[in-house]
Chains A and B, each alone.
Chain A
């Protein structure tokens, strides 16, 4: 009987030691598996973009951006984002204000509807506008008679991009405004401030990090959208080709240096987006 406490002590003394070895093995297995997986699927493709873009030297890389079609594609992508992101930001504020500041029936249903585009395939996001405005779509005849082009033109590209990026600002602002509450706004209104003053002086500063977060995600998605835009654009070189569509054309023509050079710009945009995102999260703003 007297030996039992000692045996327990012995076991307690050996257990941590044994565990450390097992723990170390598990630890390194997990880290190695994670790294291998990410290396094959993520790091190798990212490095390939750089390697392929620079395969024929810096001169060939920069020559890509002198090509008028490439420039037109970059311009179209910028125009699209410049139109879409502000509109979706205004929408995000309208949705955030009405949903977070007021209690009304059907609120959660409205939130579900706002998230709807996230659940829809990009191809369908483009197709619904073709069904409406395409040559054989509902309004196709009317648009043709009045010489208005939406599909295979800029309006279609903007509409499809707007659909795809529709929820991004709203889904950051709605939960954030709900969480921050209405006390300051109610105080401002009671003290005689108008609605717009309250919005610009009280609400906007309160939600600035969430807003920035939503805008950069919306912008990244707007500039990079492929499927939806591909369906409505018609792929007219120099006219309706956005950067992602231009990459496809160059790649299919075996013009790999140019394809990956344009891709490297979009990759830079993605990296910048992640940097801003990490920075915003460091300010204490956490995404739910």
Chain B
């Protein structure tokens, strides 16, 4: 039988492993277990009722619909931005490359109020969209805009290294052999980048579903229409309806874990493909 731990000359395993597991349990695992246990202690019928109220269903529809749309927009524009940064040289490229991480570093409350101001009917962009009949702030479109900004770096940062991996000589060879631009894209570039693109898409989607700070300013928070699920959880907590909040949180937690699993599977698939193509 394999020993639990292989011998090493280095000291400190007991101390560091002990601290790691203790701290992890105290800060992360026990509190999360409290959420699961509180939900488990609810009668099944009550749980079902709480998570299927029309208001809850409406919030799922907005949260998942807008997140899916935002992640799809990011899949397209994230690819275009990554391509531009990897393949083209232009003034300011390095600065723009560094700014891609801005949505990671910028507190969500700041991006929330800034986006709302820009897309409000008197804002820099909103004032040109309003005459066209497009209202962004305080509608589902605004929610999608905020979630797109939040998810953008995930796609760009996933796709960028994959695009650098694409073998340029393979493209050149294909073109010499008479392949058109689109054919080269479809048969050489896309297959290499696809796992990374899907990983970025899923990461952006997962982040968007749970996002709170940047959305609540621009969404207007009208029940059934522009109320996201995380906000509904906050409202339940403020009503001291802990069980209702826990049940909704449990639903979101299950979905988050499912997506975490998907991301891991996608990344494993991407690594296998790289090995298979001989990188």
B108 touches A226 (CB 8 A): yes
Q: How far is the CB of A29 from chain B (nearest CB, A)?
A: 9
List residues 45-104 of chain B with CB under 8 A from any CB of chain A: 77, 80-81, 83-85, 87-88, 90, 96, 98-99, 101-104
Given contacts A34-B77, A123-B210, A186-B9, contact A274 B105 (CB under 8 A): yes
In the complex, which residues of chain B have a beta carbon less than 8 angstroms from the beta carbon of A27?
Answer: 88
Bound form: Cα–Cα A41–B81 in Å: 13
Bound form: Cα–Cα A243–B31 in Å: 25
Contact of A259 among B16, B103, B113, B252 (CB under 8 A): B113
A101 touches B10 (CB 8 A): yes
Given contacts A123-B233, A124-B249, A270-B105, contact A104 B4 (CB under 8 A): yes
Bound form: Cα–Cα A158–B24 in Å: 15
Given contacts A30-B83, A127-B245, contact A119 B256 (CB under 8 A): yes
Given contacts A41-B149, A116-B32, contact A224 B210 (CB under 8 A): no
Given contacts A45-B115, A166-B27, contact A134 B242 (CB under 8 A): yes
Contact of A103 among B5, B83, B101 (CB under 8 A): B5
Q: How far is the CB of A253 from chain B (nearest CB, A)?
A: 12
List residues 95-127 of chain B with CB under 8 A from any CB of chain A: 96, 98-99, 101-111, 113-115, 117-118, 123-125
A136 touches B242 (CB 8 A): yes
How many chain A residues have a CB neighbour from B under 8 Å?
96
Q: Size band of the B side of the interface?
A: 35 or more
Q: Interface readout for A108-129 with B: 1 if CB under 8 Å, 0 if not?
A: 0010111011011111100111
Bound form: Cα–Cα A27–B28 in Å: 47
Other than the given A41-B152, A119-B256, 9 more pairs (CB < 8 A) read: A37-B81, A42-B149, A99-B20, A102-B5, A121-B230, A122-B213, A123-B234, A186-B10, A226-B213
Q: Report which A residues bind B (CB closer than 8 A).
A: 22, 26-27, 30-31, 33-34, 37-38, 40-42, 44-46, 48-49, 52, 90-91, 93-95, 97-99, 101-105, 110, 112-114, 116-117, 119-124, 127-132, 134-138, 159, 162-163, 166, 182, 185-186, 189-190, 194-195, 198-199, 217, 220, 223-227, 230-231, 243-245, 247-248, 251, 256, 259-260, 263, 266-267, 269-271, 273-275, 277-278
A-B contact pairs, 22 of them (CB 8 A): A22-B181, A27-B88, A45-B111, A94-B19, A98-B17, A102-B5, A102-B17, A103-B5, A103-B8, A105-B4, A119-B259, A123-B233, A124-B210, A128-B31, A129-B31, A132-B30, A163-B31, A166-B28, A224-B108, A226-B109, A269-B105, A278-B98
